[in-house]
Structure 1
């Protein structure tokens, strides 16, 4: 499929001001003046298509380039007005002179007379440009269409200005894998959710979608007739997450997973203690039975830092005892395997490939969501309390 692009630079004015009116004028002029011809000389009509407004904040140039590639992949499924906001690195000279770029990106199929197109606005923000964001997001949002803010990089959740920025859109998409202080930032995510709920801005976390395979496998195993007894007889759980040696441990996935189970099953927090390789959280079920959740971290490559690698449940009731293990394996650890056994035999052995580990699919899922996810909200509320309990050891 051929690609067409036409673009124009808008020089930066004096100071920190970004002229939104100039951006709209240049885009309108691009649409009026843009005409393209295919290889046969036949004129191709450029079709302006948008189903949403997507704001992407990239904390550095490398993340901005990654975001550009993903936006291009998403454009055929979710054509949008895209506003790419790149944070300026004060250590790189000459960025103050960078201009805003407006462009029209089109994809042309073979022998087609029209090309669906989307608008892209790329703005490099000055250092500490958070104050500028509300004045950009609100006027650049297309009317009568949903607006999303994908924060690509560590979100400044402890900055009071961030809530004001988030209020300018319908949904703000975070990724707790990128949190600079994972445990503390999970607490601030809950606070942000509570601040934004009255204005109907939805907070979502890409990490929540990443644990969908673990939720699916957990529900699958405890729904089997010969395994249902074990759900009310869990005594110990071991959750292993990857940790890159140069980064602090990130238990966000594990805490959201535990928050999901605890909120669905009515478990209550008892206490938490430190372990040499992590920590142990004690819970009690509705019958008062104690459940020990052991959060451990295994040295691994940077690409799986913070990702859950395995979950093992141990259940015991009278003379019955069983172990259920869910683990990632295979090429790129994209296969989820479930096994279950008791003292006598293997009860279950099952594996499947799960595509939700792919960032593009995670974003598509977010764009298709029309409302807040009550399961995520309940899990986040539970995870926030758990995060506070383990913060002394997992900072």
Structure 2
């Protein structure tokens, strides 16, 4: 069932939700959280479809906030709120409200969303695109216990990771981190099967892929070994090689679907490691609403390493720019000593 409301208010939207539930005979029970999706008109359909698929596992009230910025000064001055209320089969297992904000209402989106939150239920905010650098300080992010972003959708993912680390607040997470959960589980299980000490690692994947960078950060933080980052044509993350005292451990996935696990002294094994869609990623994030400390540690470690490398590079550049006369000339060894050598 769909109910369209034009130039409405949060109070009228709540009444429409009650009206819709009564019409289909469904009580307002069974929903475990409120999912707030902040997106634009172009990406709203895909984000809502992923949220609806995830709601089969996590019944929720989904609020889609679309900020419609008009180019006309007259339209920007006019504040308006339009809403589309979906209940029953149109909202899969929960309730969906699509909010379109115009004019000055865009600057007060939190005032529109707050009355629509489920009482005594956790709130998760998700930015499929155009996420703020500091989600916790965003007015909508401040309403949520968990804040989900996706650096893969950014123009400069690696720079975005640095900003995420500087502004990290417990409760922040990123779908680039969620994408590597099966890889982390498989590598941890491989090290359990072969209890040997790791001496190095190499992560291979697409260039500027934030998931590859996060996996390298996690390995360096957990194993305390140098990690090399190599580039491939993809898709996504393609291989991880762990150098150990008992021989290499290699997890490779060339086709984006099935991976091969190779451990020294054991036969190669095929492992299902397909690239997951957004609905599966969101469903995984909704399973836990506590802060992800492992993500925070990997992110912080990687940024500290990048800062150290930048400082070393700057110091090396400064030393290289010094005039040649500043360096003392090398002393030649005497001929007798050289002959003796």
TM-score, normalized by the shorter chain, greater than 0.5:
yes
Q: What is the CA-CA distance between 1:70 and the residue it aligns to?
A: 1.8
Q: Helix, strand or coil: the match of 1:371?
A: coil
Structure 1: runs of 5 or more not aligned: 13-18, 36-44, 109-114, 244-248, 268-284, 286-290
Aligned to 2:173: 204
1:127/1:376 CA distance change after superposition, 3 Å: farther
Which string of whole-angstrom CA distances, capped at 9 and with x for unpartnered residues, describes residues 60-80 of structure 1?
A: 323211022223323333222
Aligned to 1:338: 261
Q: What is the CA-CA distance between 1:54 and the residue it aligns to?
A: 0.8
Aligned to 1:173: 148
Residue from 114, 128, 151 that aligns with 1:152:
128
Q: Helix, strand or coil: the match of 1:180?
A: coil
1:338/1:91 CA distance change after superposition, 3 Å: farther
Q: What is the CA-CA distance between 1:116 and the residue it aligns to?
A: 8.0
Q: Helix, strand or coil: the match of 2:120?
A: coil
Q: What is the CA-CA distance between 1:121 and the residue it aligns to?
A: 1.3
Higher strand content, 1 or 2: 1
Matched, 1:314 2:283: no
Alignment of 1:54-69 (within 5 A): 54-58=35-39, 60-69=40-49
Aligned to 2:195: 228
Structure 2: runs of 5 or more not aligned: 314-341
Question: How many residues are matched?
Answer: 309
Aligned to 1:9: 5
Aligned to 1:327: 252
Aligned to 1:22: 12
1:90/1:10 CA distance change after superposition, 3 Å: closer
Matched, 1:357 2:276: yes
Distance in 1 between residues matched to 2:71 and 2:232, nearest whole Å: 34
Matched, 1:78 2:58: yes
Aligned to 1:238: 202
Distance in 2 between residues matched to 1:164 and 1:116, nearest whole Å: 28
Which string of whole-angstrom CA distances, capped at 9 and with x for unpartnered residues, describes residues 232-274 of structure 1?
A: 4x24x3322224xxxxx23x22232222223323x2xxxxxxx
Residue from 107, 117, 130 that aligns with 2:89:
107
Distance in 2 between residues matched to 1:255 and 1:149, nearest whole Å: 24
Q: What is the CA-CA distance between 1:147 and the residue it aligns to?
A: 0.7
Higher helix content, 1 or 2: 2
Aligned to 1:263: 221
Distance in 1 between residues matched to 2:75 and 2:260, nearest whole Å: 48
Q: What is the CA-CA distance between 1:390 and the residue it aligns to?
A: 6.6
Distance in 1 between residues matched to 2:105 and 2:38, nearest whole Å: 11
Q: Helix, strand or coil: the match of 1:253?
A: helix
Task: Return the index of the structure with the highest Cα Rg.
Answer: 2
Alignment of 1:291-306 (within 5 A): 291=226, 293-300=227-234, 304=235
Distance in 2 between residues matched to 1:324 and 1:92, nearest whole Å: 60
The answer as to whether partners of 1:356 and 1:362 remain within 8 angstroms in 2 is no
Q: What is the CA-CA distance between 1:91 and the residue it aligns to?
A: 6.9
Choose 133-142 or 87-96, whichever is displaced more: 87-96
Distance in 2 between residues matched to 1:383 and 1:296, nearest whole Å: 16
- Alignment RMSD: 3.4
TM-score, structure 2 as length reference:
0.77
